[in-house]
Amino acid sequence: MSDRLISAPEAAEQLNVSVRTIYSWISSGRLPSVRLSARCTRVPAAAVEALIRSSAKHGRPDLAPLLWDIDPDRIDEVRDADFLIVRILTAGRPEHVSWMFRRYPRAKIERIVAADRRLSDRVAGGWRNLLGLGSAEARS
């Protein structure tokens, strides 16, 4: 472990999240920080490395960029499957989508694309097209 401090933009780049997310995690206590002055906050590199290791340990990509409004550590992949699928379909990156298709049955994903109202018409239509499902009339 190192005592090195890094800037919020550096931490964001390493964690593949926005700088705004880093500051949100700092204010919520999820990510420790050191305030050097009124306008200079740094993050321990060791804390960033620990978050990266924690994400890799779960065998899934880092879902934090998709879970901006909740604590990612409280997500249960089974209990919250529909919620996770909707978030991934809406804002997921390729690594999230790949993990979703490995983790959940295709039939479950197709059911959500066809009927879940949390998906916008545009997003649902795009996924229906990609998955080879019927037209928008199938969504009721």
Are 62 and 15 in contact, with CB atoms under 8 Å apart?
Answer: yes
pLDDT tens-digit series, residues 13-51: 888 778 888 898 888 888 899 999 988 999 999 988 887
**pLDDT at residue 137 above 80?**
no
Tell me the pLDDT of the chain averaged across its residues.
Answer: 86
**pLDDT at residue 10 above 60?**
yes
pTM assigned to the model: 0.59
Q: Report, as an integer, the average pLDDT of 70-99.
A: 90
**Where along the chain do its domains lie?**
5-57, 72-138
Residue 24 to residue 11: CA distance in whole angstroms: 13
What distances in angstroms separate CA 66 from CA 21, 84, 94, 103, 136, one per listed residue? 11, 9, 13, 17, 26
Q: pLDDT-based confidence at 78, cuts 50/70/90?
A: confident
CATH number of 5-57: 1.10.1660
